[in-house]
């Protein structure tokens, strides 16, 4: 009955992924490529997690 009020965890992770990518873009513009690479790696890990969750559903 209350299942309609549950938030979709995949959507939450996708928003977090978009946020990380946006942050990485801003870091790249400042020239800190090491931090940029770390953010991209973190975003890639999150994307893999999203894909795994999609395959389970």
The token pair that represents 29 in the structure block:
């513009």
State mean pLDDT over 29-57.
95
> What range does the domain containing 9 cover?
3-56
Q: Does the predicted TM-score (pTM) go above 0.85?
A: no
Total structural domains within the chain: 1
1-27 pLDDT per residue, tens: 566 777 888 999 999 999 999 999 999
Pair 39, 24: CB distance under 8 Å: yes
CA-nearest of 50, 44, 1 to 21 is 44
């Amino acid at each position: 009955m209350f299942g309609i009020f549950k938030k979709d965890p995949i959507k939450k992770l996708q928003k977090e992924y978009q946020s990380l990518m946006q942050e990485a873009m801003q870091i790249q513009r400042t020239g800190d490529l090491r931090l940029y690479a770390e953010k991209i790696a973190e975003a890639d890990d999150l994307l893999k997690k999203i894909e795994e969750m999609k395959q389970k559903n």
